[in-house]
Chains A and B, each alone.
Chain A
């Protein structure tokens, strides 16, 4: 089964360097060559390599300029760039690192070191890609959750409003308000279903009021009079042999 190989773009105008790097890497990687900065940028615009080895000293467009352009291209975000430099070149190395270059490969190219640096930076790059991908997934999930929370808040708010309306309705239902039709003779009240209810029942149904039963003084007088009258009629006198009060 064919294994997909990483692609290394080597940008260098110096033939010996290119030849040596190719020899050191060709067994493990697919190699693309650019002999100038402009050629490199043209190649990059057509196909994205997995890692770039970039010589600094080149005619026309130098390595720094190529690097700046690469870093301004969103499609190449995260692609490791390693500067090729001759030892000792501390100033140049510091400058590159300040610019954010991933690493350096030094001349003379020590095969094992070059391979290890490339391997490590490809691994870091892959981890970074994975992190970016996972971060994007988490952001998407977060956005979904935020939308869900917002939706729930809306629903909760609507529920609260419904509860408030229900309570208000219930409250209103328990209130005696407006014009209530009442029979002028029997004092029963007509409800919204056109049924005539006893006053007590109607009030019980439409309010929180509870009734206890007592007797008012006026009614008490009337009732006592009635009772007394009934006793006068019903209770037989002593004279007629049936007993009773007069």
Chain B
């Protein structure tokens, strides 16, 4: 089952509904459960344990990212976004990984305006991802 995030035309993210989960033909996957389980040798208990830890670790990293944004420290923003990107990769949460990667690139380029523009999407994606993870557990 792939749970997907839909983006409105204005780039606003909406909370996924059952329809979107089952029927969305486009959009970015929020959480790829099948990949996660396959990668953990179908060890569901371990997957739950990892996701449980993710529920506490992702918000911490997001807070650090927000803090770095507030200080307008591009290097720190890039590092924090890089960390979130890695976490998201390991959790098979592609939407979170992609937005983190976009922020990392913007920060590396020194484009704080773009970073600021991407941050609301980042926060929403984190929120949605955590909700999906909680629901899956």
Q: How far is the CB of A25 from chain B (nearest CB, A)?
A: 12
* Contact assessment for A109 and B90 in the assembled complex, using a CB-CB cutoff below 8 Å: yes
A111 touches B89 (CB 8 A): no
Return chain B residues, CB-CB under 8 Å to A17: 86-87, 90
Q: Is the CB of A108 within 8 A of B46?
A: no
> When each residue 52-77 of chain B gets 1 if its CB lies under 8 Å from chain A and 0 otherwise, what string results?
01100100000000000000000000
Question: Known contacts A16-B57, A23-B40; is A107 also within 8 Å of B50 by CB?
Answer: no
Is residue B39 contacting chain A, with contact meaning CB distance below 8 A?
A: yes
Contacts of B35 in A (CB 8 A): 108
Q: Is the CB of A86 within 8 A of B85?
A: yes
Is A20 interfacial (CB 8 A cutoff)? yes
B97's nearest neighbour on chain A, judged by CB, is A86
CA distance A15 to B86 in the complex (A): 11
Are A111 and B90 in touch, CB under 8 angstroms? no
Chain B proximity mask over A82-100: 1 for CB below 8 Å, otherwise 0 = 0001111100000000000
Is A108 a contact of B53 with CB atoms below 8 Å?
A: no
- Could you tell me the distance between the alpha carbons of A109 and B82 in the complex, rounded to whole angstroms? 15
* B39, A108: Cβ atoms closer than 8 Å: yes
Contacting pair B89 A108 (CB below 8 A): yes
Count class of interface residues, chain A: 10 to 19
A107 & B54 in contact (Cβ 8 Å cutoff): no
A57 at the interface (CB under 8 A from B): yes
Q: Does B31 contact A (CB under 8 A)?
A: no
A16/B53 in contact, CB under 8 A: yes
Distance A14 CA – B41 CA, assembled complex (angstroms):
22
> Could you say which residues of chain A place their CB within 8 Å of the CB of B82?
57, 86, 89
A60 touches B (CB below 8 Å): no
Q: Is the CB of A86 within 8 A of B46?
A: no
| CB atoms of A16 and B87 under 8 A apart | yes
Given A23-B43, A108-B39, A109-B39, verify A16-B90 contact (CB < 8 Å).
Answer: yes
B90 partner, pick from A85, A88, A89, A108, beta carbons under 8 A: A108
Q: Quick check: is B123 within 8 A (CB to CB) of the other chain?
A: no
Tell me if A16 and B89 are in contact (CB < 8 A): no
CA distance A88 to B105 in the complex (A): 11
For A20, give the chain B residue with the smallest CB separation: B90
Provide the bound-state CA to CA distance between A106 and B92, in Å. 13
Would A107 and B39 count as touching, CB distance under 8 A? no
Beta-carbon nearest neighbor of A106 in chain B: B89
CA A111 to CA B35, docked complex, whole Å? 12
Closest A-B pairs by Cβ, 4 of them: A86-B86, A107-B89, A108-B89, A107-B86
